[in-house]
Amino acid sequence: MTLEPKIVSQATNDDAQLKRLREILLSDDRQEFDAIRSILDNKDNLKVKVDPIIEDQIEFIQENFPDVFGKQVDKAIEQKITNSPELLLSILSPVLGRLIRKAIAQQLQQLRENIDEQIRKTFSRRGIIGRLKALLFGIKDGDIILSQSTEFEAELKEIYIIQRYSGLLMGSYSTGHAMDRDMIGGMLTAIKSFAEDAIEDEEHQGNEELEMIQYGVYKIYIQNFYNYYIAVVMMGEITTSDREEMADKLIKFAEREIKLAPKHLDSEYINNLSAQLEEYFKKEKND
């Protein structure tokens, strides 16, 4: 006699019942699982479910970006700049370079002029004599400096208003005997064009303009405007503040008096503008 078949039969029954029980208990979960799987496995179904959530999140991020990621972005930028400052410089330098360079050059020029002035006053023959006079006769330093100061004063010699590209003279003013004014207008424009074209590189294309020419004791300062430029011939010791003062005067005159040149630049226009220029600078000198 053997019990084995009964035991096996009993076990089979148990399995079937367990399976049945499992099916009863898990059927809802299974259906739910199948539904989820059909969504996950099918791209279109997944898209319908997920897209609105992503869109909401994108909208939320767009609206709240600084609050949500501000700190991280700041940190990332800070780290980038710390790691490679050249990158920031290479981006900013074309924009700011010219302004910074000009400002630094101007400051250095002013500093140099101050030092030169101080050295000249202290060590020049007149300076030494002045100091001796002050010591011997009790004259104040300030009075001596005042008596000497006119020697180095900048002197305005000539002004030319010149059409920017044609080089044609629009007006001029001279305190003495002027050279061939028309020719100066033409040649100055040619020199200006040549210098600007020959020296400028790709980086500074169209940004740099000739601003000063020095010849012996004369300096020609050029104030550039859109359609024309004004060239001022000065003599003597010209400080940065002299130059700035002159530039202010020219800008004021240009704003007030210079209208666009007519189609045919004729003598009447040139004479009128020259007369206005003369009147303006004589008045400025007297003021």
Q: Establish if 208 lies at the interface with other proteins (CB under 8 A).
A: no
Beta carbons of 156 and 231 less than 8 angstroms apart: no
Question: How many Å apart are CA 246 and CA 154, to the nearest integer?
Answer: 11
Main-chain dihedrals φ then ψ at residue 162, nearest 5 degrees: -130, 135
Beta carbons of 87 and 80 less than 8 angstroms apart: yes
DSSP code of residue 261: P
Question: How many Å apart are CA 36 and CA 276, to the nearest integer?
Answer: 89
**Which span sits near other proteins by CB under 8 A: 14-22, 35-43, 167-175, 275-283?**
167-175
Q: Establish if 211 lies at the interface with other proteins (CB under 8 A).
A: no
Q: Establish if 186 lies at the interface with other proteins (CB under 8 A).
A: yes
**Which span sits near other proteins by CB under 8 A: 23-31, 78-86, 165-173, 272-280?**
165-173
Q: Between 146 and 187, whose beta carbon lies closer to other proteins?
A: 187
Number of residues that bind other proteins (CB under 8 A): 22
Question: Mutual orientation of helices 85-123 and 43-83 as an angle, nearest 10°?
Answer: 20
Q: Between 203 and 266, whose beta carbon lies closer to other proteins?
A: 266
Q: Establish if 179 lies at the interface with other proteins (CB under 8 A).
A: no
Q: Between 193 and 240, whose beta carbon lies closer to other proteins?
A: 193
Q: How far is the CB of 208 from other proteins (least distance, A)?
A: 12
Quick one: which of 52, 266, 275, 282 contacts other proteins (CB under 8 A)? Answer: 266
Contact pattern for other proteins over residues 113 through 152, marking x by CB under 8 A: ----------------------------------------
**Which span sits near other proteins by CB under 8 A: 62-70, 143-151, 181-189, 275-283?**
181-189
Q: Kindly state the helix (H) or strand (E) to which residue 57 belongs, with its residue range.
A: helix 43-83
Q: Establish if 97 lies at the interface with other proteins (CB under 8 A).
A: no
Q: Between 35 and 190, whose beta carbon lies closer to other proteins?
A: 190
Q: Are strands 212-215 and 218-224 parallel, antiparallel or unpaired?
A: antiparallel
> Could you please report the per-residue DSSP string of 146-187?
HHHHGGG--EEEEEEEEETTT--EEEEEESS----HHHHHHH
Q: Between 162 and 234, whose beta carbon lies closer to other proteins?
A: 162
R_g (Cα) of the chain, nearest Å = 42
Question: How many Å apart are CA 278 and CA 172, to the nearest integer?
Answer: 8
Beta carbons of 249 and 185 less than 8 angstroms apart: no
Quick one: which of 128, 165, 199, 207 contacts other proteins (CB under 8 A)? Answer: 165
Quick one: which of 58, 77, 139, 183 contacts other proteins (CB under 8 A)? Answer: 183
Residues in contact with other proteins by the rule CB under 8 A:
163-169, 182-183, 186-187, 189-190, 193-194, 196-198, 264-267
